[in-house]
Amino acid sequence: MSRIEILNLAGLRHDNRRPFELRSLSCALGVHPQADGSSQVSQGLTTVQAAVFGPREPKQKAGAAHDKANVVVEVGVVPWAQGQGQGRGRTRGDKRLLEIGAAIRQTFEPVIQVGLYPRSEIAVQVQVLQADGGILPTAINAVTLALIDAGIAMHDYVTSVSVGLHLTQALLDLSAPEENDLPSLVVASLPNSGKITLAQMETRLHVDRFEEMLRLGTEACKVIKDDMEQVVKTRTERVVDRMSVATRTVAVEA
């Protein structure tokens, strides 16, 4: 039996969202001054920071590929992360964190144009700052923005969301209590082409519902991409403005 009321009589979830309503999304770029690119993304009460280093010389030259870059992903959780025990007591060697790191790497390897960076390494560091469901989708969205901030060439944005199933009702962007109680699917897609780069299920789903949930997740990814793209455009405009001011200052001094 569910520990929470998934949907009340008004058709609202425990946090008063409608079934297809996404959690609030907040994004920021350039949050890690030592990284080549970085971002912080919050979806609801889940917050993830991603930092990208590279392309750079591989730390382990024996494993370097002569014709492409190696993508290395490391995931950690800060000790104070909260949320249904998801962020407590986990270290970098934790099996769950290793699985998340492997899923992120497999998601991005086909999307990053690794052939442009032979004999190099692109290192991605993911840090979970707050955990309340949807760690993997939030991390994928944060890595996308960090790669863009680092100037890494990609074929498209990668956006991600979780989809759950309550009886016959699909629910978008699950919180921690919903994740704990419902069968769920994590979808990551390339919004411009509609291609799926990740479809991960950790619980059983009815086969006849899978296609509906995949379609719903793909549509939600397009909405998330629009929000993320606006953040990128705003930051780009600010950078251009600062460069223009610097250029004018140099011209005056000359």
Residue 12: enclosing H or E segment and its boundaries? none
> Exposed/middle/buried for 209, CB within 10 Å: 0-12, 13-18, 19+?
middle
Residue 173 lies in a domain: yes
Residue 3 lies in a domain: no
Question: Dihedral of CA 190/195/201/206: which sign?
Answer: positive
Write out pLDDT tens, residues 25-48: 999 999 999 999 999 999 999 999
User: Total structural domains in the chain?
Assistant: 1
Residue 5 lies in a domain: no
SS3 11: coil
What percent of the chain is predicted at pLDDT more than 70? 89
- Taken as a whole, the chain contains a residue count of 254
SS3 210: helix
Residue 93 lies in a domain: yes
Write out pLDDT tens, residues 44-83: 999 999 999 999 998 777 667 889 999 999 999 998 875 5
Residue recorded with tokens 């793909």: 218
Residue 216: φ, ψ to 5°: -65, -45
Range of the domain at 204: 12-251
Residue 220 lies in a domain: yes
Structure tokens at 140: 């994928």
Determine the pLDDT at residue 250: 60
Nearest of 143, 44, 40, 150 to residue 101 by alpha carbon: 143
Residue 164 lies in a domain: yes
Strands 25-29 and 37-43: antiparallel
Determine the pLDDT at residue 79: 87
Q: The domain spanning residue 28 has which CATH number?
A: 3.30.230.70
Rounded Cα gap, residues 238 and 165, in angstroms: 42
Determine the pLDDT at residue 208: 80
Rounded Cα gap, residues 25 and 97, in angstroms: 23
Could you tell me if 174 and 19 are in contact, meaning their C-beta atoms sit under 8 angstroms apart?
Answer: no
Determine the pLDDT at residue 86: 46
Could you tell me if 4 and 84 are in contact, meaning their C-beta atoms sit under 8 angstroms apart?
Answer: no
Residue 1 lies in a domain: no
Rounded Cα gap, residues 144 and 41, in angstroms: 10
Residue recorded with tokens 């990128």: 232
Amino acid identity of residue 83, one-letter, is G
Q: Partners of 77 in the beta sheet? A: 128
